Amino acid sequence: MQDYKNDIKQKVKEFPDSPGVYLMKNKLGKIIYIGKATSLKNRVGSYFTGALDNKTATLVEDIDKIDYKETDNVVEALILEANLINKYAPKYNIKLKDDKSFVNIIITNEEYPQVLITRPTDKKKIKAKYIFGPYFSKWEAEKVIGILVNIFDRDNSQKNNTLNLYRKYYIKGYSSGKVENMSKKDYQKIINNIKLFLQGKKKNLIKKIEKEMVEHSKEMNYESATIKRNQLFLLNHIQDVAFIRKDEILKNKYEKYPVRAEAYDISNISGKFAVGSMVVFSFGKPNKNEYRKFKIKTIEDANDIGMIKEVIERRFSHAEWEKPDLIIIDGGLGQKNVAQMVLKKYNLNIPVVAIAKGPDRKGEKLFYSSCRGYIFPDVEFIKKLRDEAHRFAIFYHRKLRTLRNK
């Protein structure tokens, strides 16, 4: 290998082990190939190790320099790759993909725009206002849209598989004039948000949503402010797993685990040093920045149900806190019922699971609230949250006892 190729190979070793897009250039500085990577270091390095097919070997011979752009996740790398290929039309992207038919994502020019995946041959048949791509896989394009629908249409996407929701509403557009409880204005906002993200304008989109959240809060429209906060959270936690294994898609992150699950527990000794804990799991994993602890203020005797009522009421008095998709409580039927009573007071319809030890303290007994359309995660997940809430409550309880006894 020529000396300058060895120099490139050494520089690639310094590339970050993070998602992004790489741009290969020839001696004239012209971009000849653009690709995406889960790990820029590993993917680009693979061009300089092992055997290559003829087409790829020809590409490598033409490379004089490689630049890269990091992204927050693989999804954004895919979108950036498509936008840059559209802008620069590198010759090797065409040569290396000439055996595949690429697709575009388009937003139609209609009163109720549709979001469609099309082939280049479809352009004459469809009036497109915005065209994104090329994407070299229909599967990739569908997953991008599915993720965006899941972020910007939370009310509907929690009731339906996001891909089915996309096919039902966005492929058909707003042809019926109404989709569930969504207004035309709200539909247009979703379409506009999808457009901004596909244009690679995530930072602009985040600023826009942050501004809307602040405006809703000033108007004391806390429900709308919370929706915006949820969207911001999801935008900053797009899951790369959607593009790592096709057979997992959104299943593990968006169906098996709630976006946000909260678990509660009480710790006290005969009513003394009584505390409550709230732990939060986001997409199935602990989110310790969101943990909260409560010193019981209104209950003096050993009344765990009364204490859990106080904790739940204090928690939901914070309208600015993100609402959970699932509540788990260490306790039995009484704890479940009192939690439902508090949620009803705040006009909230959130599923509740109370988990208690079975007879003789063996096994587990679960008490579920009736929440239509919700599929509860597996019992092991529920136990995991319960145990974490228990650990956090005991930790705080012991801390208070230690401080009091000093």
Least confident of 120-129, 258-267, 391-400: 120-129
Residue 381 in any domain: the answer is yes
267 and 323 part of one domain: yes
**pTM for this predicted structure:** 0.57
Residue 18 in any domain: the answer is yes
Question: 366 has which bridge partners?
Answer: 355
pLDDT of residue 251: 38
231 and 288 part of one domain: no
**CB count in 10 Å sphere of residue 318:** 10
**Residue 361 region by backbone torsions, left for phi larger than 0, else alpha for psi between -120 and 50, else beta:** left
Report the C-alpha gap between 154 and 165 in whole angstroms.
11
Report the chain's terminal Cα–Cα distance, integer Å.
72
Report the C-alpha gap between 23 and 33 in whole angstroms.
6
52 and 173 part of one domain: no
Residue 123 in any domain: the answer is no
Does 378 score more than 80 pLDDT?
A: no
Report the C-alpha gap between 362 and 395 in whole angstroms.
24
User: Domain containing 396: what range?
Assistant: 257-405
Domain boundary residue among 255, 270, 300?
A: 255
Residue 120 in any domain: the answer is no
Per-residue pLDDT reduced to its tens digit, 232-282? 878 877 754 344 333 333 334 434 577 788 999 998 876 577 899 999 998
CATH code at position 57? 3.40.1440.10
239 and 302 part of one domain: no
Q: Judge contact between 299 and 233, C-beta under 8 A.
A: no
Domain boundary residue among 227, 255, 283?
A: 255
User: Over the range 172-184, which residues count as b (16 or more CB within 10 Å of their CB) and which as e?
Assistant: ebbeeeebeebee
Per-residue pLDDT reduced to its tens digit, 273-320? 789 999 999 878 888 888 999 988 888 787 889 999 999 999 998 877
Q: What is the mean pLDDT of residues 186-197?
A: 90
Q: Judge contact between 339 and 304, C-beta under 8 A.
A: no
Q: Is 163 exposed, middle or buried (0-12, 13-18, 19+ CB in 10 A)?
A: middle
Residue 341 in any domain: the answer is yes
Residue 85 in any domain: the answer is yes
